[in-house]
């Protein structure tokens, strides 16, 4: 490669990376330079809980009202930094409880002495939340506001002592401790008091805990050699910026259960380095010990326990001291201080086992359980699938309108408990939870529904099952000739998959889920019939003329006047037949027609007082009535039944193409699914199954 090409690549890398940023991340300095950083920004000394809470808050928050309750939404869980790859939807209330726990721990109210346990059914985003927190800490440690520091022991050329080992010039403290922990405990109060003096920041520096055994050993030797002169000891200390990284096992640890025969407690607390025993002469020399257990390497950050309650009891005992006293017990060494968030997650059967185990009372007492249920709001469930199944990710194949919505609707209905009110269906309950209106139900009724359903969101179909079946439908379609996936294809996948569903063995439940699929299918049919009706009747000018004619007649009727006929020039009585033909489309009975007409005129009058012009689209009921009336007038001229026939005249074909174009332009259909929907709906209308 030519030197010119090498320089070209070097320039490219220099443009991409910020030199100032690289310099900040690789900062090193003396202990005294670090003290100056602490005076300017005391937050660099925050503990793990304080740092993780600040990380979430600094990402931003917003508030909204739900069932008369103020909900705080934390933008951190949208994962915007990674383009929403691990974004969590529909769990604002559980996440609010989790962040409140972090806040309590950050303020030292006791939650910092507990194991935080995310509890819920499979596929409810427990692992995703843990992954978000770990990724967030990695990114936050690289920012100016999230900066933290550790130190290393260096061989002083002016005074070589061999404490680090033969030929070793520096040794990073194995547990990445806070540099201020070097200050002996009997001097800390006075030392920290001086550092805090005059600080305007509300944050006060606190130094808790001890050095790791290896650092404590080196400190003790130096302290003894220099007769307690700390300034001499500090000459062997070099402070450096600490970047948390799960891959590098720095500040973030993950522990998961394995076969009991192949796993022991040294994976948590470290083990002896037998190669170094010969060098240091003793297996109790801390320099001959690998402080690389998950508790050790997670110091200053977070440790995640995957399926924590599947662990052997011996491991769970380690959690007791780690949570309550913030101490662990490495083999052959005294209890060692740790500063880390302990986060576990588990499912219901394992948690019930813990509750029934009387020997694990101590662990139960040290646990804060955060329930992470399935989503029960349709719009949030839809967002989960749209993240993976969208036009950007799935190229060359079209997902028909309502495909994802129908799958999400079915998933949520399997999670809802049957309403105790006899006149309320699961489908109506789903709509109420999603913020839709159902006649006769208020916010208080919805709140009551949620309270009475104690296990709602803990049973039902997992989002993973839906994702798998959506994927199957798309992959199977890729090998076929049809370039479009529609709801019927996905519903067939959902139903056929129930036969071999690994988590549902109850045949009665499978039967209930199949019945819910029929409910979803009917809802989908109603939706596409409505869209086809609107596509056929969406003649804006014709609708406006019909509306103007209706309003003229209603005005004359309510004011007991006559209507001028534009064709004959005569004043006629209001056209009762026209008015009733529109009103009947929205089921206005004969006995209520006067009330409805007065309501329309009052609405128009109120708009006029505000200086606004009446538009039929602003009145939902009238708009729907006009659409249905227009559809009834138009459907015979287009002859929907001809959609299922291959023999159509040119005029009819042109009208069909107009309707297809409207479906494509206004509702997101493609050529394939628009034709399929028209064929399907036409067969429904052909057998007289049109729904008003």
Q: How confident is the model over 616-674, as pLDDT tens digits?
A: 777 778 888 888 887 777 665 555 544 545 555 677 677 778 888 889 998 999 988 99
Element (H, E) at 412: helix 403-415
Tokens linked to 134? 């770990």
In the chain, domain spans: 28-40+149-241, 48-54+92-144+245-373, 378-513, 538-627
**Three-class DSSP category at 154:** strand
Are 302 and 308 in contact by the 8 Å Cβ rule? The answer is no
Tokens linked to 124? 């409810």
Distance CA 114, CA 130 (A): 16
Burial class, 76, CB count within 10 angstroms (exposed 0-12 / middle 13-18 / buried 19+): buried
**Three-class DSSP category at 644:** helix
Does residue 681 or residue 487 have the better pLDDT?
Answer: 487
Going by C-alpha positions, the residue among 600, 605, 601 that lies closest to residue 621 is 600
Does residue 76 or residue 265 have the better pLDDT?
Answer: 76
Top-ranked range on mean pLDDT: pick from 59-63, 445-449, 529-533: 59-63
Q: pLDDT (tens digit, 9 = 90+) per residue, 214-242?
A: 999 999 999 999 999 999 999 999 999 99
Whether residue 243 has pLDDT greater than 70: yes
Give the confidence band of 136 by pLDDT, cuts at 50, 70, 90.
very high
Q: How far is CA 366 from the centre of its chain?
A: 27
Distance CA 69, CA 100 (A): 16
Are 187 and 216 in contact by the 8 Å Cβ rule? The answer is no
Tokens linked to 382? 């839809």
**263 phi/psi in degrees, rounded to 5:** -145, 130
Whether residue 692 has pLDDT greater than 50: no
Give the confidence band of 690 by pLDDT, cuts at 50, 70, 90.
very low
Scan for tokens 């006009």, then name that residue.
626
Predicted local distance difference test score (pLDDT) of residue 89: 92
Return the CATH architecture of domain 48-54+92-144+245-373.
Answer: 3-Layer(aba) Sandwich (3.40)
Are 243 and 250 in contact by the 8 Å Cβ rule? The answer is yes
Give the confidence band of 18 by pLDDT, cuts at 50, 70, 90.
low
Predicted local distance difference test score (pLDDT) of residue 572: 84
Predicted local distance difference test score (pLDDT) of residue 95: 97
First to last CA, the chain: 74
Whether residue 174 has pLDDT greater than 60: yes
Q: How many CB atoms lie within 10 A of CB 87?
A: 17
Scan for tokens 């139903």, then name that residue.
495
Whether residue 482 has pLDDT greater than 70: no
Does residue 584 or residue 543 have the better pLDDT?
Answer: 584
Whether residue 12 has pLDDT greater than 80: no
Element (H, E) at 190: helix 185-196
Burial class, 167, CB count within 10 angstroms (exposed 0-12 / middle 13-18 / buried 19+): exposed
Mean pLDDT of the region 399-411: 95
- Mean pLDDT, the chain, rounded, equals 87
Lowest mean pLDDT among 33-37, 164-168, 288-292, 300-304: 164-168
Mean pLDDT of the region 133-158: 92
Q: How far is CA 584 from the centre of its chain?
A: 45
Lowest mean pLDDT among 166-180, 444-458, 676-690: 676-690
Mean pLDDT of the region 100-129: 94
Which of 621-624's residues contact partners 24+ apart within 8 Å by CB, and which partners? 621/586, 622/547, 624/585, 624/586
Element (H, E) at 271: strand 271-272
Tokens linked to 509? 């439940």
Predicted local distance difference test score (pLDDT) of residue 4: 77
Mean pLDDT of the region 411-434: 91
Largest Cα span, the chain: 119
Scan for tokens 């303020």, then name that residue.
107
Burial code of 571-604, b = ≥16 C-beta within 10 A, e = fewer?
eeebbeebbebbbbbbebeeeebeebbeebbeeb
Scan for tokens 């705080």, then name that residue.
72
Q: pLDDT (tens digit, 9 = 90+) per residue, 299-337?
A: 999 999 998 888 877 777 788 889 999 999 998 899 999
Alpha helices in 108-199 (DSSP H): 126-140, 185-196
The sign of the CA dihedral 14, 19, 21, 26 is positive
Predicted local distance difference test score (pLDDT) of residue 644: 45
**Three-class DSSP category at 554:** helix
Going by C-alpha positions, the residue among 24, 149, 128, 145 that lies closest to residue 78 is 128
Are 215 and 173 in contact by the 8 Å Cβ rule? The answer is yes
Predicted TM-score (pTM) of this structure: 0.84
Tokens linked to 611? 């200086």
Top-ranked range on mean pLDDT: pick from 211-215, 346-350, 609-613: 211-215
């Amino acid at each position: 490669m030519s030197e010119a090409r090498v320089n070209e690549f070097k320039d490219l890398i220099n443009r991409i990376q910020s030199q100032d940023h690289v310099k900040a991340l690789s900062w090193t300095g003396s202990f005294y330079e670090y003290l100056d950083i602490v005076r300017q920004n005391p937050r660099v000394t925050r503990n793990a809980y304080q740092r993780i809470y600040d990380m979430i808050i600094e990402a931003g928050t917003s508030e909204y009202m739900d069932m008369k309750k103020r909900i705080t939404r934390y933008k951190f869980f949208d994962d915007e930094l990674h383009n929403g790859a691990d974004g969590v939807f529909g769990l604002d209330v559980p996440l609010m409880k989790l962040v409140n726990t972090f806040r309590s721990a950050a303020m030292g109210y006791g939650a910092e002495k507990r194991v935080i346990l995310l509890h819920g059914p499979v596929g409810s985003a427990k692992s995703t939340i843990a992954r978000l927190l770990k990724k967030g800490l990695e990114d936050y440690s690289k920012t100016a506001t999230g900066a933290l520091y550790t130190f290393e022991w260096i061989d002083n050329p002016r005074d070589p002592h061999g404490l680090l080992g033969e030929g070793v010039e520096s040794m990073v403290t194995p547990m990445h401790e806070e540099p201020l922990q070097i200050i002996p405990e009997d001097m800390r109060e006075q030392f920290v008091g001086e550092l805090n003096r005059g600080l305007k920041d509300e944050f006060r520096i606190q130094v808790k805990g001890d050095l790791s055994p290896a650092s404590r050993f080196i400190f003790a030797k130096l302290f003894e050699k220099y007769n307690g002169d700390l300034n001499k000891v500090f000459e062997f200390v070099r402070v450096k910026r600490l970047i948390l990284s799960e891959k590098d096992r720095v500040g973030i640890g993950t522990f998961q259960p394995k076969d009991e025969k192949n796993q022991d407690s040294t994976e948590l607390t470290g083990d002896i380095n037998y190669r170094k025993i010969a060098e240091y002469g003793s297996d109790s020399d801390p320099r001959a010990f690998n402080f690389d257990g998950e508790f050790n390497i997670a110091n200053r950050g977070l440790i995640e326990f995957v399926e924590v309650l599947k662990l052997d009891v011996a491991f769970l005992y380690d959690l007791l001291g780690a949570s309550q006293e913030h101490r662990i017990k490495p083999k052959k060494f005294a209890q060692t201080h740790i500063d880390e968030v302990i986060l576990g997650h588990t499912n219901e059967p394992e948690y019930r086992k813990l509750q029934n185990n009387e020997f694990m009372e101590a662990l139960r007492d040290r646990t804060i359980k955060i329930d992470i249920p399935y989503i029960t709001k349709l719009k949030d469930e839809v967002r989960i699938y749209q993240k993976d199944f969208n036009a950007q990710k799935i190229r060359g194949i079209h997902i028909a309108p309502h495909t994802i919505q129908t799958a999400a609707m079915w998933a949520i209905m399997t999670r809802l408990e049957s309403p105790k009110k006899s006149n309320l269906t699961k489908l109506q309950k789903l709509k109420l939870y999603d913020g839709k209106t159902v006649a006769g139900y208020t916010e208080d009724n919805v709140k009551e529904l949620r309270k009475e359903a104690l296990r709602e969101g803990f049973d039902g179909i997992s989002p993973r099952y839906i994702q798998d079946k959506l994927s199957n439908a798309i992959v199977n379609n890729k090998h076929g000739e049809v370039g479009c996936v529609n709801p019927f294809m996905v519903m067939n996948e959902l139903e056929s998959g129930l036969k071999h569903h690994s988590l549902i063995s109850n045949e009665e439940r499978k039967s209930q889920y199949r019945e819910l699929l029929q409910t979803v299918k009917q809802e989908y049919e109603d939706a596409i019939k409505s869209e086809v009706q609107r596509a056929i009747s969406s003649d804006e000018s014709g609708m406006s003329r019909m509306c103007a004619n209706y309003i003229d007649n209603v005005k004359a009727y309510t004011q007991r006047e006559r209507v001028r006929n534009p064709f004959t020039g005569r004043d006629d009585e209001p056209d009762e037949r026209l008015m009733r033909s529109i009103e009947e489309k929205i089921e206005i009975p004969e006995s209520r027609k006067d009330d409805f007409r007065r309501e329309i005129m009052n609405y128009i009058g109120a708009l006029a007082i505000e200086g606004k012009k009446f538009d039929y689209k602003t009145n939902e009921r009238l708009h729907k009535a006009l659409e249905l009336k227009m559809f009834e007038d138009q459907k015979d001229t287009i002859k929907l039944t001809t959609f299922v026939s291959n023999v159509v005249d040119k005029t009819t074909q042109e009208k069909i193409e107009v309707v297809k174009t409207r479906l494509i332009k206004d509702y997101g259909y493609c050529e394939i699914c628009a034709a399929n929907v028209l064929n399907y709906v036409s067969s429904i209308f052909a057998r007289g199954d049109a729904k008003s």
